[in-house]
């Protein structure tokens, strides 16, 4: 079977291709890409318009490896939960396309390479990258995710580490702008995660994972989402102001933030599956757009 | 649920990016009220394009979106009046505020003929202003001919509004699918015309 497949695909044998695809899907490229973009924007917010391409690419490589590593380790640890959820049952580990041992080795390798590379770049940068990995894998995934819905706060803290690391690498210290950027991401994460957990509430219930909707109710969750969206928008606005963003870009940021708040309030007042899904998708678009704004502002 | 094609998504994304460009750069140099009006109008174009890209065309039928859609021509026309017909600034500001209020009240309190009529009147006045004023300013030599592209944008977005209103009629001239397939292109062309037109100021 494998031999016949090999004859059809002349360059890469089918088995290797499938294995590579399985490894690639373990790093959740979209989510990793979004977090990576925050790290790069944090760095560029300090260093542009003078571009240091080697430093930028080096930081990108280190962050990509560390974020991917923590993602793989999450999936390795949560493989039993993934198997119970319809949405995740097709992932390489529950579907049997990768062995747990191979996934663990892969996750550890990526993490060690990412943190090691970060150490070569800068000590403070490395400490923040390591903190992000530690909070994500140990505190969020292993310790709290199966115990309390509040684990989302720690997920948020780890999510804010790439942008803080990037900013700290750019300015050589942890400054208030970096903290505001990290807070903005921290408060954005509940919007992202809680809308998602409402979309797939049956799946989470089946797997026995405590989520805000299941423990506090959907209405309370929508309130948390609305308040977190407001806090994220305020954090982003204060950081943008601190960076010295021009009025033109601030106006665009205000428009984008108004969209986030409008959807969050709409989800509160007229809850529906559509609005919830829209808020989930828009939140990602919002984060990507605001990162692009930060970069565009300092690169102009 | 209507399915957006990849081309629809690209056009809606581009519409949002053009509107973002206009908010960031295209309205510099205007007065505070005009800038606020243009920011609201182009900001709503950005948000409506991107939210439609995410949720599909059905979102355009929501009462909230209908009200917000009315703010687009009102904001654009108010900005134009404030900048180029300053003598009518206060009276038009009152008209815009009252118009929006009445649309919001009728849309939620008594949806039906009165709500539709209110939208037609307020939208109509704003649309006519966006169409006529830039054309007049260009033809009279007060502004370069290129500014008349804003009129073209007004015409195109008016056409989009007309097509959307067909969805509510019992015997529409075009099918729902045909209308939805035309909308992303119309939104993009209208926004492009606005953005290019305003470059001539």
Record the tokens describing residue B198, joined without a space.
Answer: 């305003």
Is there a contact between B23 and A251 if contact means CB atoms under 8 Å apart? yes
Which of A255, A278, A281 lies closest to B43 in CB terms? A255
Domain count, chain A: 1
Q: Is residue B151 within a helix (H) or strand (E), and if so which, with residue range? A: helix B149-166
Mean pLDDT of A292-297: 89
Which of B25, B50, B51 lies closest to A248 in CB terms? B25
What is the domain-level CATH number for residue A81?
A: 1.10.600
Is there a contact between A255 and B20 if contact means CB atoms under 8 Å apart? yes
Q: What is the ipTM of this complex?
A: 0.91
**Residue B26 confidence (pLDDT) above 70:** yes
Q: Give the closest-approach CA distance of A152 to chain B in angstroms.
A: 25
Which of B25, B47, B55 lies closest to A255 in CB terms? B47
Give chain A positions within 8 Å (CB) of B51.
259, 263, 278, 282
Q: Give the closest-approach CA distance of B136 to chain A in angstroms.
A: 29
**Residue B192 confidence (pLDDT) above 70:** yes
Confidence band of B170 (pLDDT split at 50, 70, 90)? low
| pLDDT given for residue A50 in this prediction | 54
User: Would you tell me how many other CB atoms lie within 10 Å of the CB of residue B3?
Assistant: 9
Give chain A positions within 8 Å (CB) of B28.
248
Give chain B positions within 8 Å (CB) of A248.
23-25, 28
Q: Which of A44-53, A61-70, A185-194, B61-70 has the highest mean pLDDT?
A: A61-70
Give chain B positions within 8 Å (CB) of A262.
47
| CA B28 – CA B146 distance, rounded (Å) | 18
Q: Is A168 contained in some domain?
A: yes
Q: B142 φ, ψ to 5°? A: -70, -30
pTM equals: 0.89
| pLDDT given for residue A4 in this prediction | 46
Record the tokens describing residue A29, joined without a space.
Answer: 């490229």
Burial class (CB in 10 A: 0-12, 13-18, 19+), A154: buried
The whole-chain average pLDDT of chain A stands at: 91
**Residue B104 confidence (pLDDT) above 90:** no
The whole-chain average pLDDT of chain B stands at: 89
| pLDDT given for residue B136 in this prediction | 95
Nearest CA in chain B to A285: B50
Tell me which of A73 and A13 has the higher pLDDT: A73
Mean pLDDT of B80-105: 93
**Residue A143 confidence (pLDDT) above 80:** yes
pLDDT digits (tens, 9 = 90+) for B105-122: 887 777 677 877 888 888
Q: Is A1 contained in some domain?
A: no
- Portion of chain B with pLDDT greater than 90, in percent: 62
Is there a contact between B46 and A274 if contact means CB atoms under 8 Å apart? no
Q: How far is CA B173 from the centre of its chain?
A: 22
Nearest CA in chain A to B41: A255
Looking up tokens 């829209």 gives: A278
Burial class (CB in 10 A: 0-12, 13-18, 19+), B175: exposed
Which residues of B lie closer than 8 Å to A, measured between beta carbons? 20, 23-25, 28, 39, 42-43, 46-47, 50-51, 54-55, 58-59, 64
| CA A237 – CA A251 distance, rounded (Å) | 10
**Residue A296 confidence (pLDDT) above 70:** yes
Q: Give the closest-approach CA distance of B114 to chain A in angstroms.
A: 24
DSSP letter at B173 equals S
Record the tokens describing residue A292, joined without a space.
Answer: 């692009």
Q: Give the closest-approach CA distance of B19 to chain A in angstroms.
A: 9
| CA A164 – CA A161 distance, rounded (Å) | 5
| Secondary structure of chain A as H, E, C letters | CHHHHHHHCCCCCHHHHHHHHHHHHHCCHHHHHHHHHHHHHHHHHHHCCCCCHHHHHHHHHHHHHHHHHHHHHHHHHCHHHHHHCCCCCCCCCCCCCCCHHHHHHHHHHHHHHHHHHHHHHCHHHHHHHHHHHHHHHHHHHHHHCCCCCCHHHHHHHHHHHHHHHHHHHHHCCCCHHHHHHHHHHHHHHHHHHHHHHHHCHHHHHHHCCCCHHHHHCHHHHHHHHHHHHHHHHHHHHHHHHHHCCCHHHHHHHHHHHHHHHHHHHHHHHCCCHHHHHHHHHHHHHHHHHHHHHHHHHHHC
**Residue A2 confidence (pLDDT) above 50:** no
| pLDDT given for residue A229 in this prediction | 95
| pLDDT given for residue A299 in this prediction | 73
pLDDT digits (tens, 9 = 90+) for A103-130: 999 999 999 999 999 999 999 999 999 9
Instruction: Give CA separation, B85 vs B32, B75, B89, B123, B137, in Å.
Output: 15, 15, 7, 19, 10
Q: Any idea where the domains of chain B sit in the sequence?
A: 6-198
- Portion of chain A with pLDDT greater than 70, in percent: 94
Is there a contact between B59 and A278 if contact means CB atoms under 8 Å apart? yes
Nearest CA in chain A to B37: A251
Lowest average pLDDT, out of A264-273, B39-48, B75-84, goes to A264-273
Q: Could you give the 3-state DSSP secondary structure of residue B52?
A: helix
Tell me which of B178 and A163 has the higher pLDDT: A163
| pLDDT given for residue A8 in this prediction | 52
- Whether residue A49 is preceded by a cis peptide bond, meaning omega within 30 degrees of 0, is yes
Record the tokens describing residue A206, joined without a space.
Answer: 């089946």
Exposed e or buried b per residue across B28-61, where buried means at least 16 C-beta atoms within 10 angstroms of its C-beta: eebeeebbbbbbbbbbbbbbbbbbbbbbbbebbe
| pLDDT given for residue B193 in this prediction | 97
Nearest CA in chain A to B68: A262
Confidence band of B61 (pLDDT split at 50, 70, 90)? confident
**Residue A6 confidence (pLDDT) above 60:** no
| CA B201 – CA B198 distance, rounded (Å) | 6
Is there a contact between A251 and B46 if contact means CB atoms under 8 Å apart? no
Is there a contact between A278 and B46 if contact means CB atoms under 8 Å apart? no
Record the tokens describing residue A276, joined without a space.
Answer: 């919830």
pLDDT digits (tens, 9 = 90+) for B151-163: 999 999 888 887 8
| pLDDT given for residue A1 in this prediction | 42
Confidence band of B185 (pLDDT split at 50, 70, 90)? very high
Domain carrying residue A264 = 14-299
Q: Give the closest-approach CA distance of A87 to chain B in angstroms.
A: 20
Which of A251, A259, A262 lies closest to B39 in CB terms? A251
| Mutate: best of B35, B47, B60, partner A, most A CBs <10 A | B47
């Amino acid at each position: 079977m494998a031999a016949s497949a090999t004859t059809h695909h002349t360059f890469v044998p089918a088995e290797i291709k499938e294995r590579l695809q399985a490894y690639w899907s373990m790093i959740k490229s979209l989510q990793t890409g979004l977090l990576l973009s925050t790290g790069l924007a944090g760095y560029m917010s300090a260093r542009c318009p003078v571009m240091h391409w080697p430093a930028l690419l080096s930081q990108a490589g280190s962050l990509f490896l560390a974020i991917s590593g923590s993602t793989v380790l999450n999936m390795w640890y949560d493989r039993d939960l993934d198997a119970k959820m319809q949405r995740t049952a097709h992932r390489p580990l529950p579907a049997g396309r990768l062995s747990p041992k191979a996934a663990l080795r892969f996750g550890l390798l990526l993490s060690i390479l990412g943190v090691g590379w970060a150490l070569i770049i800068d000590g403070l940068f490395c400490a923040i990258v390591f903190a992000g990995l530690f909070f994500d894998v140990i505190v969020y995934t292993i310790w709290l995710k199966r115990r309390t819905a509040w684990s989302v706060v720690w997920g948020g803290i780890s999510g804010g580490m790439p942008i803080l690391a990037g900013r700290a690498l750019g300015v050589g210290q942890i400054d208030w702008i970096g903290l505001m950027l990290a807070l903005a991401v921290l408060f954005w994460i509940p919007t992202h995660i809680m809308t998602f957990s409402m979309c797939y509430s049956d799946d989470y219930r089946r797997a026995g994972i405590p989520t805000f909707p299941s423990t506090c109710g959907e209405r309370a969750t929508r309130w948390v989402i609305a308040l977190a969206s407001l806090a994220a928008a305020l954090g982003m606005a204060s950081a943008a102001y601190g960076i010295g963003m021009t009025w033109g870009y601030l106006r665009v940021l205000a428009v984008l933030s108004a969209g986030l708040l409008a959807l969050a309030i709409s989800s509160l007042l007229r809850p529906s599956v559509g609005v919830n899904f829209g808020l989930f998708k828009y939140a990602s678009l919002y984060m990507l757009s605001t990162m692009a704004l930060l970069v565009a502002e300092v690169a102009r | 649920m209507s399915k957006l094609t990849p081309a629809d998504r690209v056009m809606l994304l581009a519409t949002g990016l053009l509107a973002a460009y206009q908010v960031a750069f295209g309205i510099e140099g205007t007065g505070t009220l005009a800038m606020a009006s243009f920011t609201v109008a182009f900001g709503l174009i950005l948000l409506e394009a991107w939210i439609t890209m995410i949720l599909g065309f059905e979102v355009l039928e929501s009462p909230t979106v209908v009200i917000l859609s009315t703010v687009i021509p009102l904001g654009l026309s108010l900005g134009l009046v404030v900048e180029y017909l300053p003598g009518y600034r206060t009276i038009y500001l009152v008209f815009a505020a009252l118009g929006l209020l009445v649309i919001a009240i009728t849309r939620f309190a008594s949806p039906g003929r009165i709500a539709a009529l209110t939208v037609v009147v307020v939208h109509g006045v704003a649309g006519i202003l966006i169409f006529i004023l830039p054309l007049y300013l260009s033809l009279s030599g007060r502004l370069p001919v290129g500014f008349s592209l804003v009129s073209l944008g007004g015409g195109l977005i008016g056409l989009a509004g007309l097509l959307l209103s067909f969805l509510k009629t019992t015997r529409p001239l075009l099918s729902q699918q045909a209308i939805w397939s035309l909308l992303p292109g119309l939104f993009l062309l209208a926004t492009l015309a606005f953005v290019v037109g305003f470059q001539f100021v």
